[in-house]
Amino acid sequence: MSYTPNAVVAHSFSFPDFTFTMNVSGAVTRADVGKAVALDPATANTVKLAGADDVVYGRLESLEADGLDGLTVGAVSRKFRAVLPTTGVVAVGDSVCGSATAGVVKAAASDSVDRNTVLEVLTGNRAVVEQL
């Protein structure tokens, strides 16, 4: 997207008061920063890349692999307005959930809990998602 001085900036907002350090499970690398995460029910205080139909818990903002005591930890935004990678058809007004591709989101079923909203669909399988 080219710069337009009169355009509304619709993404790249995070709220520091709602960004938390959490353990991260699975094969996650720095390339996964910016993807959707879900709670990992197998371990307390742990997230994983969002998988098929997972409720989006937040967005991975940073990653520290093999940090303290060999743990992988990351900063997770619980409230954000940011770009997430998508798959399938996603439209403005949709709510999203995890897809079959780890960390990527898809349009949620119409009867899903409205936890987030797609504000803009971008080229290259990306969308601006707001989660409040």
**Could you read off the pLDDT of 54-80 as tens digits, one per residue?**
999 999 999 998 766 788 999 999 999
111 pLDDT band, cuts 50/70/90, is low
3-state percent breakdown (helix, strand, coil) of the chain, nearest 5:
5, 40, 55
pLDDT at 89: 96
pLDDT at 59: 96
pLDDT at 115: 85
pLDDT at 7: 62
The pTM of the whole model exceeds 0.75 = yes
